[in-house]
Amino acid sequence: MKQWQHAPVHILDEAGTYMVTAGTYKKQHLFNTPEKIQILHDSLIEFALEAKWELQAWAIFSNHYHFIAISPDNPENLSSFISKLHMVTAKIINQVDRITGRKVWFQYWDSQITFQKSYLARLNYVHDNPVYHGLVNEAEKYPWCSALWFLKTADTAFQNTVRSFKTDHLKVIDDF
């Protein structure tokens, strides 16, 4: 009999657009200062660029993050990209907190987005996630998400299209 899978299965067999969510161990708020969240934010952007994952949206919080990105031609490097992100940020946070051996990250979930309407709804969801979590009234005011970048770089028609998509029926792991 096959053993029960204790972690999400990561099937990355074709290039495309993916949504990724990751959480800290036991949902602990370990990135609990602006400086710590900034470390995670900057590391995500740096390592995505290094791994050739083109970020479309992101939202970084004290105990989890979400991002949407277009994969390189071979998306199989997602696990090494996420592993490096988690390893480096865990090491830094543990150094900052002067704690050795603390487990920082739990796991991550990924899903390929294959329908345009799903993509647009998920873009809206990730951009607006700081509002969903009650951190700000306007996502553009939250410095560790892509909402302000989206406002500055996307044309108005596309912004309006993305904002028009409802997110209440999306199945996104976000019970943090």
What does the pLDDT read at residue 148?
96
What are 121-161's pLDDT values in tens digits? Answer: 999 999 999 999 999 999 999 999 999 999 999 999 999 99
What does the pLDDT read at residue 27?
95
Partners of 66 in beta bridges: 21, 59
Full DSSP string of the chain: -PPPP-S------S-SEEEEEEEEGGG---S-SHHHHHHHHHHHHHHHHHTT-EEEEEEE-SSEEEEEEE--SSGGGHHHHHHHHHHHHHHHHHHHTT-SS---EEEEEEEEE-SHHHHHHHHHHHHTHHHHTTS-SSGGG-TTBSHHHHHHHS-HHHHHHHHTS--TT-------
% of the chain beyond a pLDDT of 70: 93
pLDDT at 82 over 60: yes
% of the chain beyond a pLDDT of 90: 81
Residues 113, 19: contact at Cβ < 8 Å? Answer: yes
**Residue 161: half-sphere exposure toward Cβ, Cα within 13 Å:** 10
**Quick one: tokens of 121?**
């709804």
pTM above 0.75, yes or no: yes
Span 69-90, average pLDDT:
94
